Amino acid sequence: MSFSSCRIFEMELKMLVTMNIVVCVVLLLLNHSSVNAQAVGSPSLSPTPAPAPAPAFVNLTDLLTVAGPFHTFLNYLESTKVIETFQNQANDTEEGITIFVPKDTSFSSLKKASLSNLTQDQLKSFLLFHALPHYYSLSDFKNLSQSSPVSTFAGGGFSLNFTDISGTVHMNSGWTDTKVSSSVHSTDPIAIYQIDKVLLPEAIFGTPPPPSPAPAPSPDIAPSSDAPAKQLDIGLSPESSTPSPSSRIISLGAMNCLTLTVSGALLLF
């Protein structure tokens, strides 16, 4: 091999080595960029938080049995299966439920025909009228009173008017005006409040009659024509009817003068 050929071969070898080095450097740079991109684009994943524990199941039948004198209301709920509707709303929805429970004595003050004449559907609506399809704490009623009337669980036409008076919740159904007397249970999703009267909806019992007007005052009675007339006042006082001593003296003097005159006239004749 000639010297020139060796020289050319040496140059080609250097070029080949140089190209290999450049290719390796480029590959290293590309690989480094890819690693950095993955590091930036894929942040470290934080551990998934544990799900919040589900609220404890509350058995409404057990609660109303133990909590107070609500046996009459509970019997109506069980006989109409409305207790199941309330139970499903309480534990199977996110809205929760608010129930207004009358005491047993509230039912005893009703007329006997008030509930006995209701149909089965009316009785269910009457019971659903005692609940709201949402959980409300006592503090929520202050804002709720500003949006009255509020629809109850019974649906359209069955609404209640709420007012908050110094922290006491009052409600009016048209026929019934009562208040929350105590909180039986108030933990989301169930609120149960005791009330003093049974809520009677206008949608079932009609519009209540207006209050009786106050009796009109009795008119003044004029005196009748045959009433004894008053004696006329003739300007004489009681004292003037009795002669005074001076008038008696004058009268006696006049009589004496008249007697003497008559006697003198008789003597002349």
The domains located in the chain, with CATH, are: 60-139+151-159+180-196 (2.30.180.10)
Tokens encoding 32: 């480094």
Name the pLDDT band for 206 (thresholds 50, 70, 90).
confident
- Given a contact cutoff of 8 angstroms between Cβ atoms, the answer to whether 138 and 108 are in contact is no
Exposure class string for 241-265: b at 16+ Cβ within 10 A, else e: eeeeeeeeeeeeeeeeeeeeeeeee
- Given a contact cutoff of 8 angstroms between Cβ atoms, the answer to whether 169 and 162 are in contact is yes
What mean pLDDT do residues 87-102 have?
96
Q: Locate all alpha helices (DSSP H) within the chain, ordered by sequence.
A: 3-41, 60-67, 71-80, 82-92, 104-108, 113-116, 120-128, 141-144, 202-205, 245-268
Tokens encoding 169: 């919740």
Tokens encoding 226: 């045959």
Tokens encoding 143: 């804002």
Name the pLDDT band for 267 (thresholds 50, 70, 90).
very low
Tokens encoding 8: 């050319």
Least confident of 57-61, 209-213, 251-255: 251-255
Cα–Cα distance for residue pair 46/24, rounded to 1 Å: 37
Segment 30-67, tens digit of pLDDT: 766 665 555 555 455 566 666 555 556 789 999 999 98
Those residues whose C-beta lies under 8 Å from the C-beta of residue 207, and which sit 6 or more positions away, are: 174
Cα–Cα distance for residue pair 197/172, rounded to 1 Å: 10
**This prediction's pTM:** 0.59
